[in-house]
Structure 1
Amino acid sequence: MPQNIKENYLADGWRVIEIDGHDHQQIYKALREAVKDKENCVAILARTVMGKGVSFMENKFKYHGQPLSVDECRKALQELGVEDDLEKYFNLRKTTPPAQIKAKEEIPPELNIDPGKSIVYGAGEKVANRNAFGKALKSLGEVNRGKKTPIAVFDCDLLGSVKTDEFAKSLPEWFFEGGIQEHNTAAIAGALSTQGVVVFFSDFGVFGVDETYNQHRLNDLNHTSLKLVCTHNGIDVGQDGKTHQCIDYAGVMNNLFGFKIIIPADGNQTDKIIRYVATHPGNFFVGVGRSKLPIILSEEGVPFFGEGYEFVYGKAEVVREGKLAVIISAGTLLHRAIQAWEILKEKGYSVRVVNMSCWSDPDAETLKEAAKTGIIITYEDHNVKTGLGSIVANFLAENSLNCYFRKLGVKRYAPSGPAEELFKAEGLEVENLVDTVIEAIKKAN
């Protein structure tokens, strides 16, 4: 179909250099001109023809993905004036043993990041995890300003919503605004993370996960060390509606072998997790919601993830003890699981509540102990088919652990509306969790 590539760039104020894409001298000259031009954004429009120089291939789209026969290859080499040394390669194929694929030994770039001092939110406070992320990010930037390892933060016109705005104001030299170019920003952020820079890329879940999935797949293939922090996940997004309710963040990111998924429970755990990923190499996905959440407290009434808590990747936390059943949750719904625990306790049911924040590598020992109770119920703000419940189910099946098991999660694309109403519509309100646990206990007994 017709394209007005040149006109599109000119309309945006770019300088356009048109060249013959088959002429190496023109390519070199254009690149040199572009690099030397300090006044304009430059686009090089190199016009090429598929299969140029080979009579039977030129401008034939089928050769985009169709290999040549031996006779066709010989004819093409002859027309191009290139030596026909196919016999050499035929012989090599016969005599060379099959390649042995070895796992690449990853050598992460040397990082020298000071994690700084954690910000602790007190009992009674309500803090959105995205706000805790923004404050931790600013704190990290300020404590590492002028030191060996720089921090780069990438945003796509959402700095006020994803809470990178405070970092941008305090450290503008380390902040990069990509605009509404999520794919490009994901690629640049990933590439920069291989160069000894700690790189954070923050966006809404639907853009930072779903929209840019292939870029993150390519990042993963190239052993990047990106810290992808996405906000506005789950139906907790509420009024933004189904187009903006990212309910598949774990299912999607779990396809990527090199990404580690972490879902913080409250502002305090978010702060510790952000400092952890900043000081550890590798690709991380940290997923948070939109709403303000209460600070998770211990049974003694002090912040569970506050002073004295250290985030250990792959380790789950038992936030409430119990013997008859186990509720496994994370993120936005953990405080609701604790509310259910309180109601169940009043009704005489002793139930354990586990915070499972690391979804790529679930805590094996905690899950084995949970299975011993005979009942496990997962509770998540995620597509029920592909999230925490499925991860736990896989572990139980692979380890031959027999117990009553139920998954509570999002079963459909939710409409627009207040988060509380959406949770109720999806059966994720506290009362339904309580009823599900009681039903399970009665069935088990």
Structure 2
Amino acid sequence: MLLSEITMARLNNCNVLSHFSHAGVDEMADNTCHFGINNMFADNGLSDVESFLYFPADALRITAVIERVFFERGLRFVFSTRSKVPYILKPNSETKFFGDDYKFLPGKDEIIVDGKAGYVVSFGDMLHRSYDAVLRCRQTGLDVGLINKPTLNIVDEQMIMKIGQSPFVLIVESFNQKTGLGSRYGTWLFERQLTLKFGYIGD
């Protein structure tokens, strides 16, 4: 039924804003969940109606996303989990990364930590876990960076070129590996003739 309604909205050039909780296949606060098996399918329309898939990383971030995209056109899908996630803090600080001065820009990736050894790209509920892993790597001398990709289906050309010129990129997500961001990101790199070491981790 959901796919039918989304398809009809595309065919009729409707503007739709949908929020899907329990996204990803991570353990939820009340149960495990299977809703991340194929969330990227929401972008698989055949018409010219644009689709935008957003997965904010924390509570402040979801507020910024909704305030920015609420009145925009096209099909907008906002994903979240029911589980609590911590605020993303700036490195070596108690300052929230997505604080009062933060403005969300659809389609733009964000540097959480810059690095020279390579990059981890993540989003949503996996961003804070990736952040912890990246900081641990940096403590051992591995200068790895972390990129937040809140708009899942739009290529940030400037950022992908930056990443593509680094030694490696690892996509970390709570979506299914067969249909998630990682499978798409590899294609985006290949299309741009970016041949760095590439890997992805999902469920």
Which TM bucket (shorter chain)? over 0.9
Distance (Å, rounded) in 2 between the aligned partners of 1:333 and 1:247: 13
Deviating more after overlay: 232-241 vs 293-302: 232-241
Displacement after TM superposition at 1:249 (Å) = 4.3
Structure 1 residue 331 displacement after superposition: 0.1
Higher helix share: 1
Using the TM superposition, give the Cα deviation of residue 320 of structure 1 relative to its aligned residue in structure 2, in angstroms. Answer: 0.9
Structure 1: distance between partners of 2:155 and 2:89? 22
Structure 2 partner of 1:357: 150
Q: Which of 84, 93, 96 is the aligned partner of 1:292?
A: 84
**Which residue number in structure 1 is paired with residue 72 of structure 2?**
280
The offset of 1:284, in angstroms, is 0.1
Amino acid of the residue matched to residue 44 of structure 2? N
- Give the aligned residue type for 2:59: G
Give TM-score scaled by structure 2 length. 0.92
Contact 1:344 1:351 in 2 (8 A): yes
Q: Which residue of 1 aligns with 2:14?
A: 224
Q: Name which of 323, 347, 360 aligns with 2:140.
A: 347
Task: Report the equivalent of 1:213.
Answer: 3
SS at match of 1:240: coil
What residue identity is the alignment partner of 1:240? Answer: N
RMSD value, Cα? 1.4
1:235 aligns with 2:25: yes
Structure 2 counterpart of 1:245 = 34
Which residue is equivalent to 1:259? 51
CA distance in 2, matches of 1:223, 1:240: 36
- For 1:234, the aligned partner's letter is G
Instruction: Measure the CA separation in 2 of the matches of 1:219 and 1:266.
Output: 29
Q: 1:338 — aligned with what?
A: 131
Whole-Å Cα distance in 1 between the matches of residues 96 and 115 of structure 2?
20
The structural deviation recorded for 1:268 is 0.9
- AA partner of residue 31 (structure 2): D
Check the 8 A contact 2:119/2:144 in 1, yes or no: yes
CA contact (8 A) 1:233 1:249 kept: no
Is the Cα contact below 8 Å between 1:237 and 1:289 reproduced in 2? no
User: Which of 122, 136, 140 is the aligned partner of 1:329?
Assistant: 122
Q: Which residue of 2 aligns with 1:375?
A: 168
Structure number with the bigger relative contact order (C-alpha 8 A, sep ≥ 6) is: 2
Runs of 4+ in 1 over 6 A off after TM superposition: none
Higher radius of gyration, 1 or 2: 1
Question: In structure 1, what is the Cα distance between the partners aligned to 2:40 and 2:116?
Answer: 30
Aligned twin of 2:106? 313
Amino acid at match of 1:247: G
Q: How does 1:196-207 map to 2 (within 5 A)?
A: none
Identity %: 27
Q: CA deviation at 1:384?
A: 0.7
Q: Is the 8 A contact 2:38 2:179 kept in 1?
A: no
For residues 97 and 87 of structure 2, what CA distance do their matches in structure 1 show? 8
Letter in 2 for 1:227: L
Question: How far does residue 237 in structure 1 lie from its aligned partner after superposition?
Answer: 4.2
Structure 1 unaligned regions, length at least 5? 1-182, 184-211, 411-445
Query: Counterparts of 2:125 and 2:8 in 1: how far apart (Å)?
Result: 30
CA distance in 2: counterparts of 1:228 and 1:249, whole angstroms? 16
Aligned residues: 198
Provide Cα deviations, 1:150-207, integer angstroms capped at 9, x if missing partner: xxxxxxxxxxxxxxxxxxxxxxxxxxxxxxxxx4xxxxxxxxxxxxxxxxxxxxxxxx
SS at match of 1:294: coil
**Following the alignment from structure 2 to structure 1, what is the Cα–Cα distance between the partners of residues 38 and 176?**
9
